[in-house]
Amino acid sequence: MDLDKTPVPRPAPQHYEPGEGCLTTAIRIPVRVVVLVLVVPVRLVWDLLAAGARALHRSVLRPVGRGIALACSWLYESVLAPVGWFLGRALFVWPWVALWRYVLVPVARYGFVVPAVWLYENVLAPVGRGIGILCSWLYETLLTPTGHVLGAVLMFLGKVLFVWPWVALWRYVLVPVVHYGLVVPVVWLYRSVLTPVGHGIAWLLTGIAKGVALTAVGLWAGLVWLLVTLLVTPLRWLHRAVLAPVGREIADAVGVAWRIAGQISRAIGRALKWLAWILVGQPVSWFYRAVCTPVGHAVRDHVWAPARKAAVETGRAVGNALRSAGETVRQVRRDAWRALAGPPRTAEPVKAPLDGARTLGGTTTVPGAVPAPEISLRKQV
């Protein structure tokens, strides 16, 4: 025996929490038993409802849904789509097309466009061209020299009356008065009086604000300490020592009970399935193998096969008779046509021309032969 072998520490069990003892384990087992007793009926009902829902969906809802979908698709493609297309065009396309084509376009064309074009071409255009020629002549003959002189005179009078007096007033009166009577005193008052007073007030307010801020910080720290000590710490201890273990145990108990209830439910389901097979499935299977299969084979071999063979032979005989009757009818029709129209005329061979290297009917040439005139056979005959 190896006495120097170091012991291997065992891993902690699952869901192990530090601090659990015998009391927690002793409380856990009854809680799980009680929860299992309460959860088993719920799990049985749940599995029963789930199995019923799956069977209902597989055997009823899915075929009914497919049928409804096919019916709706056929109804839409065969009825609603053509009717909607026709109604849509009849209500929203054809009336507006007819209104545009037969009302608005003729009214706009013959009521506005044609008269306006005629008025422009026959009245307004000649009058406008005459007025333009007259105005051009007046401007070039009278207004251009007079306008230059009047423009210069009016420009000089405008500057004398409206520009130079205001420029002199602004430059030599308003600017010196405002600069030396208002700006210079205000700047001296700001630099010599207001700035030192403002600095002192700002220093005083800064000190007061720092004192108030320190006082508020102290009060807030004390309030936070009292709140943490009297409320947060007890609540945290209550959550860590009571609520979290109780909730964890209840959740673990519900999970374990749900898994055990599922195993119990599956066991009960397998038992019911075995009982249904013994009571119903096995007798039905034996009846199918022992009764239905031999009867079906006997019917197939002694009834269906001879009837099928007889039907095939009858069909062949009827087909041969019909083919013979058809051939007889065709032969009688050909004989009657020969009696009425005479025998068919045989085709006479056409003699090929002896001379000529190339004809219209051939593309080859014979070396040393004189070419024949290219005249069709019909014209030669």
Query: Does residue 4 lie within any of the structural domains?
Result: no
Residue for token pair 């290219």 = 374
Structure tokens at 67: 């049928």
**Residue 361 forms part of a structural domain:** no
| Residue 203 included in any domain | yes
pLDDT in tens, the chain (381 residues): 344 444 444 444 454 444 455 556 666 777 777 777 777 788 888 888 888 898 899 888 999 999 899 999 999 998 888 898 888 888 888 999 988 988 888 888 888 888 888 888 898 888 888 888 887 777 777 666 666 777 677 777 877 787 788 888 888 888 888 888 788 888 888 888 888 888 889 888 988 998 888 888 988 988 999 888 888 888 988 888 878 877 887 888 888 888 888 888 888 888 888 998 999 889 999 999 999 999 999 999 888 989 999 999 999 999 888 998 888 888 888 887 877 766 666 666 665 555 444 444 444 554 555 555 555 555 554
Instruction: List helix spans (H) across 2-111.
Output: 22-56, 62-75, 81-88, 94-99, 105-108
Q: What is the pLDDT of residue 192?
A: 85
Span 86-136, pLDDT tens digits: 888 888 889 999 889 888 888 888 888 888 888 888 988 888 888 888 877
At residue 350, the pLDDT reads 60
- In this prediction, residue 287 carries a pLDDT of 92
**CA–CA dist 303, 296 (Å, integer):** 10
Expressed as residue numbers, the domain containing 116 is 22-319
In a domain, 81, yes or no: yes
The answer to whether 268 and 46 are in contact (CB under 8 A) is no
Among 247, 250, 246, 244, residue whose Cα is nearest residue 39: 250
What pTM did the predictor assign?
A: 0.35
Cβ contact 25:246 at 8 Å? no
**Per-residue pLDDT at 42:** 83
Residue 92 lies in a domain: yes
Number of structural domains the chain divides into = 1
Contact 15, 252 (CB under 8 A): yes
Residue 197 counted as domain residue: yes
Phi-psi region of 208 (alpha: psi -120 to 50; beta: other; left: phi over 0): alpha
User: Is 5 contained in some domain?
Assistant: no
Measured distance CA(244)–CA(34) in Å, rounded:
20
pLDDT of residue 35: 75
Torsion of CA 185, 188, 192, 193, to 10 degrees: 30
